[in-house]
Amino acid sequence: MEIIKDSVFPEKPFTAAKKNKQAPANLQEAISARAHQLYLKRGVEASTPEEQLNDWQQAEREIREKYGLA
């Protein structure tokens, strides 16, 4: 596994293949599906545009972190 040095924090190297998970073929679709799950969990009736944006941003962070794309 290749080690890459972080230019901002050179004392903290990270690995190129984090957790050995392959990213989904359609990253946008995976983020969309997770955002929808968060939306349903929070409750459709209480949904505002700001909360929907928060759902999307949280889903994007989770998916990117899960596959080492953060």
Give the model confidence (pLDDT) of 25-62 as tens digits: 899 999 999 999 999 998 888 789 999 999 999 999 99
Structure tokens at 37: 């799950």
To the question of pTM greater than 0.75 for the whole model, the response is: no
Helices (H), 1-70: 27-42, 49-66
Give the model confidence (pLDDT) of 13-24 as tens digits: 444 444 547 888
Check if the beta carbon of residue 64 is closer than 8 Å to that of residue 70. Answer: yes
DSSP state of 15: E
User: What angle do helix axes 49-66 and 27-42 make, rounded to 10 degrees?
Assistant: 130
Please state, in angstroms and rounded to a whole number, the distance separating the CA atoms of residues 54 and 61.
Answer: 11
Instruction: Delimit the domains of the chain by residue range.
Output: 29-39+47-70
